[in-house]
Amino acid sequence: MEKKVFGVPSGPYQFQESSRFPGGYVEPFILNSSNIFFELEDKRPHREVDILNEHCKFLLKASRSMETRKLCSICGEAPVKFFFFLNYSIISKNLTCCGSEYCRQQLVLGRVGGLRAFHLESLRSFKKVKIRRDAEALFRWALKLKKSSSPEEIFKALTSGYFKKNPLATELIEKPIKKPEGEKVEKNEKNPLPIRPRNCSSARRRITAEKQLEMFPGTKIRPRD
Ligand SMILES: [Zn+2]
């Protein structure tokens, strides 16, 4: 039986008809009801490879390189990378800054609270409804997205930075795994069905898994049927 690995998604994930959200997409949940997104991401996969779960994990990882589209409230020059969680209760677009040390220090100066980065992992801790909604609105603001943005727009906003940083990742985008050069399918004269060279699928899998690990250290590669 041929083994496959989870590829890099090239677009949003659509739920299957038999699922909890038939025909809907994962992406709109991220910045509108992030609690549901984290529920899907946290869920222990019940199949060997749960594509939905892997998709959520990929988005979390890719969002670490997410490109924001609003400028620092302090220097006004670089895109926002951090926001300040004032008194651990208030989130505001006026309390955001770029990645420079100076701007970060200025934002924190004389204030009580915590600095949080603009990537999806930061949303996870906001569990109470009011603050979670404020945080989701802040992310939509930073990415210039709307509540009604399409799944494609959201996917692109979250992953474009990742794909720029990892141009090779496009090679792993979900598509049939190509046969290595020189591999030929032979025909057996007595048996008209083509026969595969020995170990061909496991060799292909090993190459792909190694390549994936090299590009995404720490990735869990699970076989799927
Ligand atoms: Zn700045």
**Residue 43: per-residue pLDDT:** 85
Cα of 201 to ligand 1 centre, how many Å?
51
Contacts with 21 (C-beta within 8 Å, 6 or more apart), sequence order? 15
More confident residue, 171 or 116: 116
Cα of 132 to ligand 1 centre, how many Å?
25
**Residue 168: per-residue pLDDT:** 77
Cα of 87 to ligand 1 centre, how many Å?
22
**What percent of the chain is modeled with pLDDT above 90?**
63
Cα of 118 to ligand 1 centre, how many Å?
14
* Residue among 33, 56, 32 at smallest CA distance from 43: 56
What predicted TM-score, i.e. pTM, was given to this entire model?
Answer: 0.73
In whole angstroms, give the CA distance from residue 154 to residue 175.
22
Cα of 145 to ligand 1 centre, how many Å?
22
Cα of 110 to ligand 1 centre, how many Å?
17
Cα of 98 to ligand 1 centre, how many Å?
4
Contacts with 57 (C-beta within 8 Å, 6 or more apart), sequence order? 41
pLDDT of 203 above 50: no
Mean pLDDT of the chain: 82
Cα of 141 to ligand 1 centre, how many Å?
17
Cα of 106 to ligand 1 centre, how many Å?
9
Render pLDDT for 125-177 as a digit per residue (tens, 0 to 9).
999 999 999 999 999 999 999 999 999 999 999 999 999 998 877 666 655 44
Q: What angle do CA 121, 33, 115 make, to 5 degrees?
A: 35
Render pLDDT for 14-70 as a digit per residue (tens, 0 to 9).
999 888 899 999 999 999 999 999 999 998 766 656 889 999 999 999 999 999 999
Cα of 218 to ligand 1 centre, how many Å?
32
Helix (H, G, I), strand (E, B) or coil at 38: helix
Length of the chain: 225
**Residue 156: per-residue pLDDT:** 97
Cα of 83 to ligand 1 centre, how many Å?
12
**Residue 214: per-residue pLDDT:** 53
In whole angstroms, give the CA distance from residue 80 to residue 194.
57
More confident residue, 209 or 153: 153
Contacts with 5 (C-beta within 8 Å, 6 or more apart), sequence order? 49, 205, 208, 209, 212, 221, 222, 223, 224
* Residue among 119, 138, 122, 118 at smallest CA distance from 32: 138
More confident residue, 30 or 203: 30
Cα of 104 to ligand 1 centre, how many Å?
7
Q: What angle do CA 159, 161, 163 make, to 5 degrees?
A: 70
Cα of 96 to ligand 1 centre, how many Å?
9
